[in-house]
């Protein structure tokens, strides 16, 4: 059974009009890819290709939190390192800890603070190495806090929270995507 042409929603197939006669709503019809001659480019849209402007990408929330945690960690380590070095210089032995141990611990705290500040500053522009370094710093702080808490020292609480925050923030998939993004 054939349908009458009046019920065809697309109308009758159009016949080419003689030269000079206007075609209502005529637009050039692109040929399917298979019917194009060899070597001819595919039909393009009405606009020329234009390179898009760089899109501003915002740092993910977990990465921002890890960055803030590194800044806080750096500040606390500066404070702790200076206090340990001052205590070693003034008193010598403090609660059974020798001055040499205080100097060493204070120096390590100051070095860790510098690393934390540098890594946090590189979060906006650094690559995957910055993310890995941040995760290592967070893991070391977390491990140190767990050892402190296991030995009965209650000073490991802030390190536990900050170390976990930095470690988790650096190991998420969104962090990997952020640090592996294309840069201009």
Name the pTM for this structure: 0.67
How many C-beta neighbours within 10 Å does residue 108 have? 14
pLDDT band, residue 18 (cuts 50/70/90): low
Q: What is the pLDDT of residue 43?
A: 57
pLDDT at 29 over 90: no
Residue 24 has pLDDT above 80, yes or no: no
SS3 43: coil
The token pair that represents 135 in the structure block: 């995760």
CA 116, chain centre distance (Å): 17
């Amino acid at each position: 059974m054939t349908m009458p042409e009046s019920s065809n929603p697309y109308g009758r197939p159009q016949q080419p009009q003689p030269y000079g006669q206007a075609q209502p709503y005529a637009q050039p019809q692109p040929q399917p890819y298979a019917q194009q001659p060899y070597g001819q480019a595919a039909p393009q849209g009405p606009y020329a290709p234009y390179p898009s402007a760089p899109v501003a990408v915002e740092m993910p929330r977990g990465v921002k939190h890890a960055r803030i945690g590194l800044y806080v960690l750096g500040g606390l380590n500066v404070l702790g390192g200076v206090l340990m070095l001052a205590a070693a210089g003034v008193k010598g032995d403090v609660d059974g800890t020798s001055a040499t141990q205080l100097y060493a611990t204070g120096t390590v705290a100051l070095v860790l603070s510098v690393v934390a500040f540098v890594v946090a500053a590189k979060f906006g522009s650094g690559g995957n190495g910055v993310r890995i370094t941040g995760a290592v710093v967070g893991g070391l702080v977390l491990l140190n806090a767990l050892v402190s808490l296991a030995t009965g020292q209650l000073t490991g609480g802030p390190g536990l929270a900050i170390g976990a925050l930095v470690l988790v923030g650096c190991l998420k998939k969104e962090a990997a995507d952020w640090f592996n993004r294309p840069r201009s």
